[in-house]
Amino acid sequence: MPRLAELAAEISSKNAGAFCLTFDIVFDTRERYEQVKRAGVISAERIAELYGMPVEQVLGVVEFDQGNAFKIAVRRERPSGSVGETDVFGAQQYAPLLDIEIP
Amino acid sequence: MSEPRTGVLCASGSLGLTPMHPESYWAAVEDGPDAIVADAGSGDIGASYLGSGARYNPVEWELHDLRLMLTAARRLGVPMLVGSVGGAGTNGSVDRYVEMVKQIAAEEGLSGFSLASIYAEIEVDELARLAAAGGVPPLGAAGPLEEADARRCDRVVAMMGVEPLLAALDKGADVIIAGRCCDDALFAAVPMHRGHDRALSLHMGKTIECGPLVATPVIMREAIAGVMREEDFLVVPYHEGQRCTPASVAGHTLYERLDPHRLPVPGGVVDLTAAAFEAHTDTVCRVSGARWEPADPYAVKLEGSAFVGHRALFLFGLRDPLSIANVDRMCDGIAVEIAKHFGEAGDGRYHLNFHVYGRDAIMGEREPLKQIDAHEIAVVVDVVAPDPGDAQSIAKMAKYASLRVHYPGKLGTAGGCAMLADEVLMPSMPVYEWVLDHLLPLDDPLAPFTIQLETV
């Protein structure tokens, strides 16, 4: 089964404001986007499981057809830059998405 | 009735972050834009810049970019707008940017223009009074702002919408230096002032505010323009190696926002459910379809920053596989040694965190992989304490303890770790934290934003 990293043109993470993180998964072609969409493997439950967070912390998983893209938003455990911060911009938080297998 | 066409040049995706590249910028100026605009700040840079008022960028780079913008804007006779100045958009940064504009004007022999400053700070006492009356509803927070949380803030800014910018343009401003400002509004102001549709102007603003991030390939600090027309806008690159394609522009709609279909801005939401992205030429993208959904009441986002302490860091590395296997035991031993002298962490005197690079320093509790596969790892001991002397001494205690802490089977008894330097590192800027995740409802969108005009 292909991994998400092999199908997507962009997989990234970034803060959306100081209190949330957002993940973008963008595809070069409509076919690949539809393939992943049909597989149904990108869901709030799956994100919660991958990141070890309660599903309520996942604010949304949106299919953005105009951009052949998925948009995921989660609430941060603490605001960006707080004591104990590990990634101020949230720019390396996408790594667990890379290995999602697409049936 | 709008002007048939309004070109907005994004001079830099972040003014002063690194110097703009002049070649594509001057090519864009040759096209005769109707406004030259740059955002100069971000919430991403953390609460410390807002709280401390520290400069985010080297002043030479800020001057470099402001000089390019001012000389071109005055030559063309078009408005120049800079928002969220200095990184956090504090009043002090507005004053500093105004002085830089005047300095450049004097050096370049530019005069006879109207310079507007727009301030965005909210008095903490005023916010506390509003919070006590239950008047500060949550944005993402669990509930309305409590008075005590308002009083914790050392500095608060409100993110202005397009209205204060339009008011300054109405008064004849040629150059606008704005405090904390919604990026999208900063770029939408001149098109809206010339009669273009609000939703389309704001979507254009969202699209070009980060400059070349909207293009492919991303080559930073190059010029990008948004050209408003009656029913759509064009996204135009000026570096010959860059293209704005439907994929790159639609993809950028996602950037730093929670929901690609809905862009919340001061006063409402830009609804992009019906947005369309099409190739206008091989390098220019055409965008249409944004719709405006007003909010009731009109509200702006608040950002507040509270002092936490001073930071001291000690960084050590481990190469012995047995040391690596015992890294948690080492960190526990260091924490115990510190607690003997300074009390328990988190009791108000200091915060202590260990970041184990090679394991989970980047993702922390979100990290799904907990084993260490590396042959070497690094540990950053991260101390934050209100008293800078405490922070330094605690980090020095960590240094001592990291060399001496014991674990079963330890062979390297001469010193248990590799030090990057035999000193603790103390960043110059204190640590602040974000406090507010709330909205400020406004009867008048101009109310908290003071506009001052002067002739240069």
User: Is the residue at B401 inside a domain?
Assistant: yes
Whether the CB of B364 is below 8 Å from some CB of chain A: the reply is yes
Q: Point out the least confidently predicted range of B252-256, B279-283, B358-362.
A: B252-256
Report d(CA B181, CA B97) in Å as an integer: 15
The band of A79, judged by pLDDT with boundaries at 50, 70 and 90, is very high
Tell me the sheet residues that pair with B310.
Answer: B385
Q: What is the mean pLDDT of chain B?
A: 94
Same structural domain, B203 and B350: no
User: Is the residue at B146 inside a domain?
Assistant: no
Query: Which of A58, A62, A82 would you mutate first to test chain B, the one with the most B CBs within 10 A?
Result: A82
Average confidence (pLDDT) over A53-61 = 93
Tens digit of pLDDT for each residue in B64-79? 999 999 999 999 999 9
Whether the CB of B368 is below 8 Å from some CB of chain A: the reply is yes
User: Is the residue at B1 inside a domain?
Assistant: no
User: Is the residue at B150 inside a domain?
Assistant: no
- CA B438 → CA B159, B242, B300, B303, B419, distances in Å? 11, 39, 9, 8, 43
Residue B360 Cα to chain centre, angstroms: 26
Same structural domain, B238 and B321: no
CB nearest to B368's CB, from A26, A83, A96:
A96
Say what the ipTM of the complex is.
Answer: 0.92
Q: How far is B384 from chain A (nearest CA, A)?
A: 7
How far apart are the two ends of chain A, measured CA to CA in Å?
6
A83 and B351 within 8 Å at the Cβ level: the answer is: yes
Same structural domain, B318 and B270: no
Name the percent of chain A lying above pLDDT 90: 82
Same structural domain, B351 and B224: no
Q: Left (φ > 0), alpha (ψ -120 to 50) or beta: where does B61 sit?
A: alpha
Tens digit of pLDDT for each residue in B79-133? 999 999 999 999 999 999 999 999 999 999 999 999 999 999 999 999 999 999 9
Residue A48 Cα to chain centre, angstroms: 10
Same structural domain, B270 and B339: no
Q: How far is A40 from chain B (nearest CA, A)?
A: 19
Give the pLDDT score at B1.
65
Q: Is the dihedral of CA B279, B283, B288, B291 positive or negative?
A: positive
Phi, psi of B59 (to 5 degrees): -60, -30
Same structural domain, B365 and B281: no
Same structural domain, B266 and B326: no
- CA B367 → CA A51, A78, A95, A101, distances in Å? 7, 15, 9, 18
Give the pLDDT score at B219.
83
* Closest to B40 (Cα-Cα) out of B175, B214, B174, B178: B178
B260 and A71 within 8 Å at the Cβ level: the answer is: yes
Find out whether the peptide bond into B33 is cis, omega within 30 degrees of 0.
Answer: no
- Number of structural domains in chain B: 2
- Residue B38's domain comprises 6-120+159-295
Give the pLDDT score at B389.
97
Asked which of B266, B295, B324 is the last residue of a domain, the reply is B295
Whether the CB of B433 is below 8 Å from some CB of chain A: the reply is yes
User: Is the residue at B217 inside a domain?
Assistant: yes
Query: Which of B273, B331, B366 would you mutate first to test chain A, the one with the most A CBs within 10 A?
Result: B366
Classify B260 as helix, strand or coil.
coil
Same structural domain, B282 and B355: no
Same structural domain, B230 and B349: no
* Tokens read off for B216: 């492919």
A64 and B47 within 8 Å at the Cβ level: the answer is: no
CB nearest to B368's CB, from A15, A52, A64:
A52
Nearest CA in chain B to A24: B254
Same structural domain, B256 and B359: no
Asked which of B273, B295, B317 is the last residue of a domain, the reply is B295
- B241 secondary structure, DSSP code: T
Report d(CA A72, CA A79) in Å as an integer: 18
The verdict on pTM exceeding 0.90 is yes
